[in-house]
Structure 1
Amino acid sequence: MSTQDLGADTFESTVNEHEIVLVDFWAAWCGPCRQFAPVYERVSEAHPDIVFGKVDTEAEQSLSAAAGITSIPTLMAFKKGVLVFSQPGALPAPSLEQLVTAVRELDVDAAPAAAPSTTEERSA
């Protein structure tokens, strides 16, 4: 599945109705966002069972504020409706793949406060 645009009217239902949802908060004027976009798109195509959403922070300012976005790009990952990862900055493809693997393996029912380590993704 390729990426899909999310807005205030679809964000919550998307996060709650799918097993795993990754969300890229971005803006058209943001250079790192534009560099990350093709990486995010390629990884989304490799994982059709995961929802890869995108939130345009300019068009969705209220949603971005509610999500606590202070820097873009910011990537969030949800599993079973639980936020398990949130980090500003563009990830290289191998790190994004590591994140996907970590979220897949995470048992949110057994450890709802656990989240993938951001250190591991950065060191790749």
Structure 2
Amino acid sequence: MAVVSLDGRSFGPALVRPGILLIGWWAKWCAPCCVLGPDVARVAQQHPDITFALVDVDAEPELAEVLGVQTMPALMVFRDGFLLLNHVGPVPEPLLEDLVRQARALDMDGVRHEVAEYRASNARVRIGQHGG
């Protein structure tokens, strides 16, 4: 699969799609960012079932601000809408491959279960704080 560009309109639909979404945040003026794009493109060729995307922070400043991207390059890895990694700094191609491997290996049923338990326990704490 080719690397896609995300903007304010396409980000939401890409995020809610099941599967792995790897996003590289970059800027034309950022020297290390010039390496990120080609590395992401090479890894994307090996994993056509994964969505690989790049976001130009100068073209999408609002999206970068909403997601807290302040330093480039940055890399985010999502799976089934869950943020797995938010990394700032260069990411060499072998590490990208390792991140893909780790994202694939993650037990998402276990993650969903843990999140549900956390939310339920957090709800009980809030109810208790309000005298309920």
TM-score clears 0.5: yes
Contact 1:24 1:76 in 2 (8 A): yes
> Which structure's residues are more often helix, by fraction?
2
Shift in Å at residue 27 of structure 1? Answer: 0.7
Partner of 2:109: 109
Contact 1:82 1:108 in 2 (8 A): no
Partner of 1:99: 99
CA offsets, 1:68-96, max 9 Å, x none?
A: 10111100000001111110111111111
Q: List alignment gaps of at least 5 residues for structure 1.
A: 115-124
Letter in 2 for 1:101: R
Partner of 1:86: 86
Partner of 1:45: 45
Shift in Å at residue 12 of structure 1? Answer: 1.1
Q: TM-score, normalised by structure 1?
A: 0.87
Partner of 1:23: 23
Shift in Å at residue 97 of structure 1? Answer: 0.4
Q: What RMSD in Å do the two structures reach over aligned CA positions?
A: 1.4
Partner of 2:9: 9
Partner of 2:36: 36
Q: TM-score, normalised by structure 2?
A: 0.82
Shift in Å at residue 18 of structure 1? Answer: 3.3
Question: What is the SS of the residue equivalent to 2:8?
Answer: coil
Write the distance in 2 (CA, Å) between the matches of 1:24 and 1:67: 12
Q: List alignment gaps of at least 5 residues for structure 2.
A: 116-132
Contact 2:24 2:36 in 1 (8 A): no
Identity %: 37
Question: What is the SS of the residue equivalent to 1:31?
Answer: coil
Letter in 2 for 1:21: L
Write the distance in 2 (CA, Å) between the matches of 1:111 and 1:17: 17
Letter in 2 for 1:73: P
